[in-house]
A and B are shown apart, each in its own frame.
Chain A
Amino acid sequence: MKRMPKPVYLAAGAYTVSLGTGRPEFSPKRPRPGLDATIREAGRLALAQIADPAAIDECVIGNFMAARFNRQGHLGSLMVNVHPALEFKPALRVEGACASGGLALASGIKSILSGMADVVLVMGVEVQNTVKAIYCADFLAGAGWYEGERKDGHAYFFPGRFSERAGAYGARIGMERAREGCAHWFLNAIENARLNPAAQEHTNRAGDLLALGRTAPNPRTFTEHLNLFDCSKVSDGAAAILVASEAGLHRLGLARKDAVEVAGLGHAAANLTTPPPDLAEMTTSKLAAGNALKMAGIGIGDVGVAEVHDCFTVTGLLLAEALGMAAPGEGADAIAAGITRRDGRWPTNTGGGLIGYGHPTGATGVRMAVDLWRQLTGRAVGYQVEVRKEHGLLVNMGGNDKTVVSLALRR
C-alpha cells in the first residue's frame, strides 16, 4: 500500500447549523436561507480563520442533488460567491450521493498531491427542506440504481434498503440484540448532539431516549425493521475546510498545531447495479477504511476518535464491525456496552453524527472532517472528548455502501 507522497493538512474547518425539524428556528412555513446563503455562511466561517482568502488556489464542493432539491446546477461557479478572492479560481462540484463531501475532500487532497495547488477550499452542501419528506425520498433514491431498483423499492427508498440490512443483521445475531444496539446508537447520537450547538437535535429534550430507540418498527406506517428514530433527518447545511500543503499552511497563516495531517485516504466504489454481497456487512466501507488505515500505517487500535456514516442506526452498528471495532456479529453488543460513547474506547460521532447533528447529504463528508479536525486539535467547544490516540478515522458512504471515502487523520 502506498503512503501519502507528501504531507497534506486539513485546517480552518466550519459548518452551519443543520437546519430541519427539531431546530427551534426551523419551520417549513417560514422562509429559510436557501442554497447560496448556506454555502456562503459555511465558506465565510472557514475563511474567517485564515489570513488571506487570496491564498486559496482551487475550490471544490460536494453536492448530491441540488439540481432537484433547489433546481440549481453549476455549483462550482456558485461556490465562488463565498468570497471575491475566489473569482476566476478553478472551482468544481463533485457528486457521489451521500459521499459527495468525502469525494470533495479526496479531490482537494489529490490537487495538493499533484502539486497543482497548495490550498484548496473544500466544501459540501445540501439544502433538502424544499420538498416534503415523501418527495425528498424520491430525490435521495437517486443514490440507488433508478432503472433497476426504484420501481420495486419502498416509498421511502433508503429506509427500505437499510431496513433490509437491519432485518438481515437481526436474522444473523437475533433481532432483539440488533434492536438493542440500534437503540443505544440512537442514545449516543442524541446525547452527543445535545452538546453541539449546531446539531439538529441540540434541543432534543426527550426523557427516555433508550425507550424511544426501542420503539418497535411498524411496517404499516414505515419500514419493517427500522423506526423513525433509527433514521437521520432531512437537513439543510454546509461545511467547509481548507486542504493545504505545508507551504499552503504557511500561506494561510496557520501553524502545524492548527491542522491535522491526512495520513491515509481510502476510496472505493462498488457496482451500483448489483446487490450487496452480504446485507449484514458494509463490504465497501470495510475495504475503503482498511485502505485508509493501511496507507496511514496504523490499525484500528491506533484510532482515538471516529466519524462514521450513521445514516441509520444499523449502519452505525455495521460500520463498527467493518472498521474492526467489534467482531462480525458483535457490533450491537459492543455499542450497547459503550465502545463508541464519549468515554468509550472509540469516541464516535462526537458532535451527534448523522442521526444527531443531521445529514445534509452533500455536506456530510466535509462536516465529518471538520469534527475530526476539531477533536484532534482541541477545538470541539462544548463537545470535546479526550482523544487518547494520535489518529482519527472518517468513513463517508454514498448509497447502499456503493461509494465510500475514508480518511485517516493524524494529530
Chain B
Amino acid sequence: MELDQRLRNVAVIGAAGKMGSGIALLLALEMAWRALEDPGTTYVLNLIDMADAPLQGLQRYLMEQARKEGEKQVNRLRKVFRDRADLVENGEMVQAFVDEVMVHTRTGKALALAKDSTLVFEAAFEREEVKFEIYNELAVLCPRSAWFFTNTSSIPLHVLADHCNIQGRLIGYHFYNPPAVQKLLEVIAPEGCDPDLVRDAYVLAKILRKTTVPANDIAGFIGNGHFMRDGLHCIREMEHLAQDYGFVQAVYMVEKVSRDWLLRPMGMFQLIDYVGIDVFQLILRVMDKYLQDGLHSDLIDHMLDLGVRGGQTSSGAQKDGFLRYEKGRPAGIFDPSTREYAPLSEAAVKDMDDRLGPHPDPALSWKALSRDPGKDQKLREYFRKLKTMDSLGAGMARAHFFDSRDVALDLVGQGVAQRPEDVNDVLTLGFFHLYGPINDYLD
C-alpha cells in the first residue's frame, strides 16, 4: 500500500494531549491541503482520547490553528479557490479552509474509531502499561496492513512490538514539543522493522517539513538519553551546593549557571518544569528499568510526593514546579522544607550572583546569540574566556559542559546515536541549544 493511500485514513491516539494535539494538527492540515489541491479523495482523521472535554479543547485548538495556517497561506488559498465563485475575500477563503480541516476530523473516546486506519500515531501517556493496553487492542482492531508510529520518548520499541505482537509494523516517531512548530523528529526503527515502513516514515517526515535524526532502539533514545543525564547532573550539583548555601540558593545558582553561563534558552530546573516533573520521573524509571544505569533521583520523587509537578495547563501556561512562574517567567523557588515558594529578593539574588562570580561576558546571552550570524566565533571566544576564569560559577559551568559532552559521547559510544552530529542536531534543533555538546570549545 502506498503512503498516499495510507494517509486517507489516519488515527491519532492520545490526540488531545500536548504532543497528540500537535501531531493531529500537522496531519489535519496536510489532509486539508491534499483534499483541496487534489479533490476527489476522502480523507479521515480519527482523533481519540479518553474524555470529552479535552477532545472539545482539541477541536477548538485545531480550528484556531487552521485559521492561522489559512491566514499565512492566503496566496495559496486564493489559487486553490480560484474557481469557487462564492469565495471572494480572504476571510471567506480562510473560513473555508478551517471548515475543510475540520470536515476530515472525527473525535471519539473508543479505540474502535481507528479500525479502518492504516496509519496510527500514538502519543499516549509515557507509561508502558498504558501503551501495552493500547497496542494490544489496536493490533486486533486495525487492518493487518496498518502501521504504527509511536511518539514514545523512552520506551524501547522492540519491547512494545514484542509485547503487542506488532513486530515490523511499529516505528518510533519522536516529535518535540510543540510538534507543529519544532522541526526535529527523532526516528527510531527497531530491529525487524519493515523497510517500507522505514522508507515511508522518512518520506512522511519530509511531507510534514520535519528534520529527521535517526536514533537506535535504546531506552531514552538521543533526546532523553542526554536530557535525563544532564538533568541528574544538575540535581546532584544542586544537592552538593545546598549543603553550603541552602536548597533555594542552590537551585538558583544551578539554574543561573545552566542557563546564562552555558548560554541555553532556559535553565535546567525550568526545563524540567516545562517537561513536567512527573514526566521526568516516568522517563527516568523507564530508562533505568532497561539500562540499569542508576538513573534515579530521590529529589524528583520527593517533589512529586509533595504534589509539586510542573508541566503545562491545557492552554499552554507553565505550571509551578521547582520554580514559581509569573507571566511565564521564574519568580520564586520551591523550598521543600517549608513547602512554599521563596521569592527572589534583589538582595538575595545579588548575594548569590556575587558567590558565583562575574559572568564571562554579560553582553552575551542565548537570545542575543541565537540570531547572530557571527555566533560560532563569539562562542569560541566566550568559552576561551570561561576556560581561564577562577570562580564558583565558572567551575560549575565547566563541570556541566564536560558532563554534557561525556553524556553525548557515551550516546555515540553505546550506539544510541549513529554519529556525533546526530546528538548535536538533537540538542540544537530539539532543545534550541546554540551549540552541540560534542565540540572543542574548552579543549
Chain A residues within 8 Å of B, Cβ to Cβ = 132, 134-135, 137-138, 141, 146, 150-152, 155
Who on chain B is nearest to A220 by CB? B75
In the assembled complex, B94 has its CB within 8 A of some CB on chain A: yes
Residue of B nearest to A135 (CB): B91
> Given A134-B90, A137-B90, A138-B91, does the pair A151, B85 have CB atoms closer than 8 Å?
yes
A220 and B94 alpha carbons, distance in the complex (Å)? 19
Residue of B nearest to A146 (CB): B88
Nearest CB to that of A142 among chain B residues?
Answer: B89
Docked complex Cα distance between A134 and B85 (Å): 20
B296 within 8 A of A: no
Residues of A within 8 A of B90 (CB): 134-135, 137-138, 155
User: Could you tell me the distance between the alpha carbons of A152 and B82 in the complex, rounded to whole angstroms?
Assistant: 8
Known pairs A134-B94, A137-B90, A152-B82. 16 more at Cβ < 8 A?
Answer: A132-B71, A134-B71, A134-B90, A134-B91, A135-B90, A138-B89, A138-B90, A138-B91, A141-B89, A146-B88, A150-B88, A150-B89, A151-B82, A155-B75, A155-B78, A155-B90
Min CB–CB distance A138 → chain B (angstroms): 4
CB distance from B93 to the nearest CB of A (A): 9
Q: Which residue of A lies closest to B87 (CB)?
A: A151
Q: In the assembled complex, how far is the CB of residue B35 from the closest CB belonging to chain A, in whole angstroms?
A: 21
Residues of B within 8 A of A137 (CB): 90
* Residues in A whose Cβ lies below 8 Å from that of B344: none
Contact A155 B88 (CB under 8 A): no
Contact A155 B74 (CB under 8 A): yes
What separation, in Å, do the CA atoms of A146 and B85 have in the docked complex? Answer: 12
Contact with A along B89-113 (1 / 0, CB 8 A): 1110010000000000000000000
What residue in chain A is nearest B71 (Cβ atoms)?
A134
B88 close to A151 (CB less than 8 A): yes
CB distance from A141 to the nearest CB of B (A): 7
- Min CB distance A131 to B, Å, is 8
Do B74 and A134 have beta carbons less than 8 Å apart? yes
- Complex Cα distance, B91 from A138, in Å, reads 7
**Chain B contacts with A in 76-90, Cβ cutoff 8 A:** 78, 82, 85, 88-90
Residues of A within 8 A of B71 (CB): 132, 134
Kindly state the separation between the CA atoms of A173 and B352 in the bound complex, as whole angstroms: 66
Q: How far is the CB of B349 from chain A (nearest CB, A)?
A: 29
Q: Which 6 A-B pairs have the closest CB atoms?
A: A138-B89, A155-B74, A134-B71, A138-B90, A134-B90, A151-B88
A138 CA / B88 CA spacing, docked (Å): 9
Query: Can you list 15 pairs linking A and B with CB atoms under 8 Å apart?
Result: A134-B71, A134-B74, A134-B90, A134-B91, A134-B94, A135-B91, A138-B89, A141-B89, A146-B88, A151-B82, A151-B85, A152-B82, A155-B74, A155-B78, A155-B90
Q: How far is the CA of A155 from the CA of B71 in the complex (A)?
A: 10
Chain A residue with the shortest CB-CB distance to B93: A155
Alpha-carbon distance A60/B94, docked complex (angstroms): 37
Q: Is the interface of A mostly helix, strand, loop or mixed?
A: helix
Q: Which of chain A's residues have a CB closer than 8 A to the CB of B82? A: 151-152
Q: Name which residue of chain A comes closest to B73, CB basis.
A: A155
Most chain-A CB neighbours within 10 Å: which of B78, B85, B88, B89?
B89
Min CB distance A155 to B, Å, is: 4
| Min CB–CB distance B441 → chain A (angstroms) | 32
A residues in contact with B74, CB < 8 Å: 134, 155
The distance from the CB of B68 to the nearest CB of chain A, in whole angstroms, is 10
Closest residue of B by beta carbon distance from A137? B90
Residue on A with the closest CB to B94?
A: A134
A137, A138, A150 — which one has the most chain B CB atoms within 10 A of its CB?
A: A138
Cα separation A138 to B93 with both chains bound (whole Å)? 11
Nearest CB to that of A132 among chain B residues?
B71
> Complex Cα distance A145/B85, Å?
16
B89 contact set on A, CB distance < 8 A:
138, 141, 150
In the complex, what residues of A have CB within 8 A of residue B91's CB? 134-135, 138
Docked CA distance A17–B78 (Å): 35
In the assembled complex, the Cα of A134 lies from the Cα of B74 at a distance in Å of 8
* Most chain B C-beta atoms within 10 Å of own C-beta, residue among A134, A135, A137, A150: A134
Nearest neighbor of A136 in chain B, beta-carbon distance = B90
When distances are taken between beta carbons in the complex, the residues of chain B under 8 Å from A146 are 88
Measured between alpha carbons, how far is A134 from B71 in the docked complex, in Å? 7
Most B Cβ at <10 Å: residue of A135, A146, A155: A155
- Chain B proximity of A206: nearest CB distance (Å): 17
- CB closest chain-A residue, reference B84: A151
Q: How far, in angstroms, from A132 to B78 measured CA to CA in the complex?
A: 17
User: Complex: how many Å from CA A137 to CA B71?
Assistant: 12
Q: How far is the CA of A138 from the CA of B90 in the complex (A)?
A: 6
Q: How far is the CA of A150 from the CA of B85 in the complex (A)?
A: 11
Assembled-state Cα–Cα distance A150/B78 (Å): 11
CA distance A357 to B91 in the complex (A): 28
**B94: chain A residues within 8 A (beta carbon):** 134
Give the chain B neighbours of A151 by CB distance below 8 A.
Answer: 82, 85, 88
Measured CA separation A134–B92 after assembly (Å): 11
Min C-beta distance of B128 to chain A, whole Å:
43
In angstroms, Cα B90 to Cα A134, docked, is 7
Name the A residues within 8 Å of B75 (CB-CB): 155
Mark interface residues in B46-88 (1 if CB within 8 Å of A CB, else 0): 0000000000000000000000000100110010001001001
Q: Mark each residue of chain B from 127 to 160: 1 if its CB lies under 8 Å from any CB of chain A, else 0.
A: 0000000000000000000000000000000000
Give the Cβ gap from A62 to chain B, nearest Cβ, in Å: 24
Q: Whole-angstrom distance between the alpha carbons of A141 and B85 in the complex?
A: 17
User: Which residues of chain B are near A134, meaning CB under 8 Å?
Assistant: 71, 74, 90-91, 94
Report how far A373 CA is from B85 CA in the complex, Å.
48
Q: Which residue of B lies closest to A153 (CB)?
A: B78
Alpha-carbon distance between A138 and B94 when the two chains are bound, in angstroms: 12
Contacts of A138 in B (CB 8 A): 89-91
* Bound CA–CA A65/B94 (angstroms): 21
Which residues of the partner chain B approach A155 to less than 8 Å between Cβ atoms? 74-75, 78, 90
Q: What CA separation (Å) do A134 and B69 show in the bound complex?
A: 12
Bound together, the chains give a CA A35 to CA B321 distance in angstroms of: 44
Across the interface, which residues of A come within 8 angstroms of B85, CB to CB?
151
Alpha-carbon gap, A138 to B87, bound state (A): 12
CA distance A138 to B95 in the complex (A): 13
A135 to B67, CA, bound (A): 12
Query: How far, in whole Å, are A137 and B90 apart by their CA atoms in the complex?
Result: 8
Q: Kindly state the separation between the CA atoms of A151 and B83 in the bound complex, as whole angstroms.
A: 9
List of B residues within 8 angstroms of A152 by Cβ: 82
For A141, the closest partner residue in chain B by CB is B89
Find the A residue at minimum CB distance from B70.
A134
- Residues of B close to A141: CB separation below 8 A: 89
Q: How far is it, in angstroms, between the C-alpha of A155 and the C-alpha of B92 when the chains are bound?
A: 12
What distance in Å separates the Cβ of A232 from its nearest Cβ neighbour in chain B? Answer: 19
> In whole angstroms, how far apart are the Cα atoms of A141 and B88 in the complex?
11
Once bound together, how far apart are the Cα atoms of A141 and B90, in whole Å?
10
Q: Which residues of A contact B88 (CB under 8 A)?
A: 146, 150-151
Q: Return A227 CB to nearest CB of chain B, in Å.
A: 16
Q: CA–CA, A151 to B78, complex, Å?
A: 8
